[in-house]
Amino acid sequence: MLKPHRDIINKVPKVLIIGYGWVGQFIGEYFKKAHYVNEDGVVRRVEDNSVVNGYHNYDFGFVCVPTPMLKNGRCDISIVRGAVKNWIDWVGQFCLKSTVEIGTTNYLNKKYGNRFCFSPEYLGETVGHPLTDARKETFIILGGDKSVTGDFAELWTLVTNSYTKIYQVPAETAELCKLMENSWIATKVMFCNEFFSLAESIGVDWNELRQVWLADPRVSPSHTWVFRNNRGFSGKCLPKDINNLVYYFGGLKNGKAKLMSFLLRRNAELRKQYNDEVMLLPNVDKKFTKKTD
């Protein structure tokens, strides 16, 4: 693996990565001199996992902790809140990489002063995913006040190259963009699943149909495979993020997310024979119902 040039490393401000799982470790690929911490509170060095003794001040913190789905569909940001509370006196400015409920960044800025921005994470977990190579990051979205996003933008310029597009937008634009991204992916998956069923019902081969559909340059191949024995969508991100969206807009007077709400129900219907570990819809997961009722 290529390492950033020594001069660049030496000029990078002090960075703490809070939550060193899949996303945290990806951030660590850029910031080799950073420290990281998990819920055990032990601070370690990214470069060799050695323990850091004593307390350090950090210019920047990346929050990459879990934000699970609550049983009512809402995104649970309590781990983010707890992690921020733990580190607020040691970190200057925070970038939330965890997927959060809309309004979280503004809430933290109000509570602790204007020190937070949100950056939607597009990292995937499948082999060959187009956005898993730290050297090929093509865009970074930073949502928040320019006084914070500007500093994080500058930080990224130290570890990426000038082909990288860095966008600075209001916090809620970036927060909604993350949910829009996964809503789009889920919509595409469900669209392909629909046409898979339609094709099968009249004896058309889905793979041939998919191939000719993809001949159109306006259609990209991502998320167009349909798995005969694993229909619809599941996994760590899509159900949780779309429930997050539907719950949030469900609480607003004029803003119900009707299409995405339908998609969640249609997906649960398509997947009813599978024993999903994750909740697809609020309160209806069999396992979950068993545990709590």
Ligand X SMILES: NC(=O)c1ccc[n+]([C@@H]2O[C@H](COP(=O)([O-])OP(=O)(O)OC[C@H]3O[C@@H](n4cnc5c(N)ncnc54)[C@H](O)[C@@H]3O)[C@@H](O)[C@H]2O)c1
Q: How far apart are CA 211 and CA 59, in angstroms?
A: 49
Measured from the CB atom, the residue of 92 and 124 that comes closer to ligand X is 124
Q: How far apart are the first and last CA of the chain?
A: 50
Q: Which residue is nearest to ligand X (CB)?
A: 21
Out of 52, 70, 123, 209, the only residue in the binding site for ligand X (CB under 6 A) is 123
CB of 112 to ligand X, least distance (A): 17
What's the chain's Rg over C-alpha atoms?
21
Binding track, positions 55-84, relative to ligand X; x by CB under 6 A:
---------xxxx-----------x--xx-
| Of the candidates 264, 287, 258, 232, the residue with the CA atom closest to the CA atom of residue 73 | 264
Provide the pairing of β-strand 116-118 with 91-96: parallel
- 117 beta partners: 95
CB of 18 to ligand X, least distance (A): 5
CA angle 27, 33, 236 (to 5 degrees): 20
Beta-strand runs (E) in the chain = 15-18, 35-37, 43-45, 58-63, 91-96, 116-118, 139-143, 165-169
Token pair, residue 144, equals 């928040």
CB of 149 to ligand X, least distance (A): 18
Spatial contact of 121 and 88, defined as CB atoms under 8 Å apart: no
Out of 93, 99, 105, 193, the only residue in the binding site for ligand X (CB under 6 A) is 99
Out of 39, 208, 269, 277, the only residue in the binding site for ligand X (CB under 6 A) is 39
CB of 206 to ligand X, least distance (A): 27
Out of 124, 150, 170, 250, the only residue in the binding site for ligand X (CB under 6 A) is 124
CB of 224 to ligand X, least distance (A): 20
CB of 120 to ligand X, least distance (A): 8
Q: How far apart are CA 230 and CA 190, in angstroms?
A: 12
Question: Is residue 18 involved in binding ligand X (CB under 6 A)?
Answer: yes
Out of 4, 15, 17, 19, the only residue in the binding site for ligand X (CB under 6 A) is 19
Question: Is residue 239 involved in binding ligand X (CB under 6 A)?
Answer: no
User: How many Cα atoms are found within 13 Å in the side-chain-facing hemisphere of 17?
Assistant: 25
Residues that bind ligand X (CB under 6 A): 18-24, 37-39, 64-67, 79, 82-83, 97-99, 121, 123-125, 237
